[in-house]
Structure 1
Amino acid sequence: MPTLIAGALAVFVIYTLLQMFRAANPAILARGVKIGGGVVALAVAAFTGIKGELAVAIPLGIFGAGLLGWSPFGTAGFSQIGGMFGGRASKSAGQTSNVRSQFLDMVLDHDSGALTGRVVAGPHAGQSLDGFDLAQLAAMMSGFDAESVALLESYLDRRFPAWRQDAQFDGAGRQGRAASSSKMTDEEAYQILGVQPGAGRDEISHAHRSLMKKLHPDQGGSTYLAARVNEAKDTLLRTHRN
């Protein structure tokens, strides 16, 4: 009987771990794999070093340190090593996308998916959106152009997921959903995708895929922001074709 209980418990634990693995954020999962791999590599390096096998311990220790971000030679020397364990994800550490309209400037953090913004025009210019409550933000919409309204709604969808269901705010931003009337420039496209000018097709495509995962409806995504990201990718890839 104890064996049966232990077996059932083991199956439950394994099933739970698999479900957590499937639901995990890819960026967080990749970071966890890197950290775990670094710790294991350092532990094995210490063990082999104690046994006197320095020819194995030293490179293994350097490899583990590189995975953990500890580099006596600078970070560049481990860029390719990190790529073996989700190096692309670590490369995006601190990487952001910037989307600007007439009244708002929004920043999307690639790693956390957090969306922050500030007002750049009007009576509240220079103030962070985080400093306003839902009623105040909804009241701003009446003075915004359609593009700024769509951008603000994207912010509200993340900060107040159920705001559209409140009758008090129903129709607050119903003044149209016109896309940007001007053609997106290469500079804007680079800012939106969060890549450096001159980025290659592979880097552009990777940034696009990563951002679209962040903008999925299950992650509090936004149709408007997804459209802007798609437009940015098309703009830069069209530049490469030309």
Structure 2
Amino acid sequence: MYRITKIPAYTLLCSLLLTSLAVAEPMWVSDRFEVMLRTGPSTSNAIQLMVDSGTQLEVIERDAASGYSRVRTSGGTEGWVLTRYLMSEPAAREQLQQLTGQLTDAKSAGSGLSEQLNAIRGQHQAANQRIETLEREKQALQSELDTIKRTAADVLAIDSQNQRLQEKLTDTEIRADTLQQENQNLRSQQNRNWFLTGAAVLIAGIILGIWLPRVRWQRRSRYDRL
């Protein structure tokens, strides 16, 4: 005889839950119908609600014999719908809406990128204008610097020339002072010479004045003796 092993109720319940979770998959209601969500897998079961086409449902289990699938709505309501009214992907209308939304997002992103690109172009253009302005300022400053250098060179040349002229003037003044001193010395010497000459002439005159009368007197005395 076969031994019948009793399985605890909680173990059986867990197995059923795991089986239900294992087969759960998303499905969408056909876009051609409104599907009736029933309390059981037959037309004799009561209708709980009408599910619009394109609604996403979660398939919990399938009953191939009845052609029904047990599903769960996003609101948590469970029931049975005909399996042939379920699709493995969203309805074309839903896909079109998603694609339209993605296209709109892409256009928005493209518009944002275009605005960013225009902003970057504006910044690039402003940077180029700033660079051109700085180049013009650089050329103007370079020209001014060249002028200052030429002026400074001229000033240095003038200063050097003035220094040479000042040295020449100093030498000339020294020579003039020397010549003046020599001239004064010559004048002093000339005056001394004139003074000595005059004194000599005066002395000679005095001597002659004294000597000539004596010579004359001696001659007369000789004549008188004769």
**TM-score tier (shorter):** under 0.3
Compare CA radii of gyration and give the structure with the larger one. Answer: 2
Q: Which TM-score applies when normalising by structure 1?
A: 0.18
Please state which structure has a larger fraction of its residues in strand.
2
Please state which structure has a larger fraction of its residues in helix.
2
Q: Which TM-score applies when normalising by structure 2?
A: 0.19
